[in-house]
Amino acid sequence: MRDVAVIGVGMNRWGELWEKSHRDIWTEAALKAIDDAGVDHVDAMYVGTMSGGLFVGQEHLGAMLADQLGMGPIPGTRVESACASGGLAFRQAYIAVASGIHDVVLATGVEKMTDVDGGRATYALSTAADQEYECYHGITFPGLYAMMARVHMHRYGTTREQLSAVAIKNHHNGAHNPLAQYPMEITHDVVMKSALVADPLRLMDCSPVTDGAAAAVLVPLELAKKITRTTAVRVAASAHATDTLALHDRPDMAWLGSTAKAAKDAYQQAGVGPKELSFCEVHDCFTIAEIMVIEALGLCEKGKGGEASAAGRTALGGEFPVNPSGGLKSKGHPVGATGVAQILEVVEQLRGACGVRQIKDARWGLTQNMGGTGASSVVHIFERA
C-alpha cells in the first residue's frame, strides 16, 4: 500500500442555509478543496451522506455530484454509516489511493437537514439506531444518549457541571471558528436554562441540526510532496470498527467499544499512542459522547472523562486539547459532513493556519467520527509531513 497525504481541504459556512440546496453547499466545499489542493482534476470521488433519501428525497449522490462538479464520467461513490458517513467516505478514498487504483481522489461529506420539518429530521436521524429493537418503541437519539449519560453518572459520579464543561469549552473554541454555525460563548447557566430534552441532557448538551458540507483531496504522499503549495499532511492511520447497533445488546452501555477498537488499531498503524497526540477532533454529538470518547481513546482513565473535561485538560491550552474547531456542538453537525470537517480542522492545525485557536507545534492529530450510539467508529491519525 502507498503512503497517502491530504493536500487540500474546504468547507462552506455551516448553518441553517434555507437559501441553498445540498448541491450548492457540496459544490462550494468541493471547489474550495480542489482550489486549496491546486489540482485541475480528480480521478474519483466519494460522498458521505447519511440519508439523502429521508432528508431531501435524493439518493444516488455519487453520480449526481460528479456531474454537478462537471467531472463526469469519473467514478462517484456514496458511502453511508449514519453520522460516521463522512469519516468512512474519507477512509474509502484513502484505501483507493493507497491501493494504487486512483491517484487524486476527492473525499466529501454533505447533509442538508433543514429542508424537512423537525419531526421528520428526528425520524431520519433515528434510522441510525436499530429501528426494530429501539425506535419502534419510541426512543430517539437524545433519549439513547441520555441513558448512556445516566449510566455514566451513576457508575462514575459524573456530574451535571461536567457535562456543561464540554459544551462551554467547545463553544469557546468555536467562537474563534469563522465557519461555525454557533460561534458564541456559553456558560453553565445558559446550559441549565436551556430546555430539558431527555434528562439529564438539555438543548445545550446537543449538537444542532445543520446544513453543511466538507471536502478533502487525497493523493499519494510522494506526489503530495511534489505538488503541494503548503504543508502535506500524511494519513498515518485509518481504522474502522463496529459494535452492536442496539444499545441494550452491549455488555457496558457506558463504554464505546468500537471507538476503543478503532483507536487501538490506529495507534498500532501510526506507531504513536494517545500521549504523542497534539490534539483530537472527536464526535461530541452530545456532551456525554465527548466524555466517553476521550476515555475510549485512552486520553484519560475510564470513568474520568467528566472530571478531565471540567479540570480543563481538554481545553485549547490543556494537556490534550479536544475539538479545537468547536466540535459538533458549536461548529454544527450536518451528519454526513462531520467526519470530513474534523479532518479539515486537523489539516489546518497541522499547517499552523488556525489563528487564535491554533495548537502550538501541532504534529500529530487524531479524528474520531461515530455513527449511532457508537455502532460505527472511524479513527484517523494524521502527521505533519
Distance CA 282, CA 370 (A): 8
- Min dist. Cβ of residue 178 to a copy of itself (A): 30
Site string for a copy of itself, 251-290 (x = CB under 8 A): ------xx--x-----------------------------
333 catalytic? Reply is: yes
The residue whose grid cell reads 451535571 is: 160
Name which of 93 and 362 has its Cβ closer to a copy of itself.
Answer: 93
Query: Does position 53 bind a copy of itself by CB under 8 A?
Result: yes
* Rounded Cα–Cα distance for residues 346 and 382 (Å): 7
**Phi, psi values for residue 307, rounded to 5°:** -60, -45
Q: Which is nearer to a copy of itself, 20 or 363 (CB)?
A: 20
In degrees and rounded to multiples of 5, residue 366 shows phi and psi of: -120, 140
Q: What is the four-CA torsion angle of 6, 44, 367, 165, rounded to 10 degrees?
A: 110
- 26/28 Cα distance (integer angstroms): 5
Residues in 161-200 at the binding interface with a copy of itself, rule: CB under 8 A = none
Chain centroid, CA 51 distance in Å:
16
Least distance from C-beta 329 to a copy of itself, angstroms? 22
Catalytic (active site) residue 83: yes
Spatial neighbors of 197 by CB under 8 A, at least 6 apart, are 142, 146, 203, 205, 206
Q: With CB under 8 A as the contact rule, which of the stretches 28-36, 142-150, 237-245, 320-328 interacts with a copy of itself? A: 237-245
Of 22, 102, 176, 333, the catalytic one is: 333
Where are the alpha helices (H) located in 252-337, listed in sequence order? 257-270, 287-296, 305-310, 327-331
Binder of a copy of itself out of 7, 30, 42, 98 (CB under 8 A): 98
State the DSSP H helix or E strand holding residue 61, giving kind and residue range, or none if neither: helix 61-68
Could you tell me the smallest distance in angstroms from the CB atom of residue 310 to a copy of itself?
Answer: 31
Counting contacts by CB under 8 A, is residue 248 touching a copy of itself? no
Query: Binding string to a copy of itself for residues 75 to 94, with x set by CB under 8 A, is what?
Result: xxxxxxxx-----x---x--
**Catalytic hit among 83, 280, 300, 354:** 83
340 SS3 class? helix
User: At 167, which amino acid appears?
Assistant: A
Task: Tell the smallest beta-carbon distance from residue 61 to a copy of itself (Å).
Answer: 8
Size of interface with a copy of itself, in residues (CB under 8 A): 62
Asked whether 86 and 48 are in contact (CB, 8 A), the reply is yes
Minimum gap (Å) between residue 26 Cβ and a copy of itself: 13
Please state, in angstroms and rounded to a whole number, the distance separating the CA atoms of residues 308 and 324: 16
* Residues at the interface with a copy of itself (CB under 8 A): 1, 21, 23, 44, 50-54, 56-64, 66-67, 72-82, 88, 92, 95-96, 98-101, 123-124, 127-132, 135, 240-245, 249, 257-258, 261, 371-372, 375-376
Q: Give the residue numbers annotated as catalytic, written as ranges.
A: 83, 333
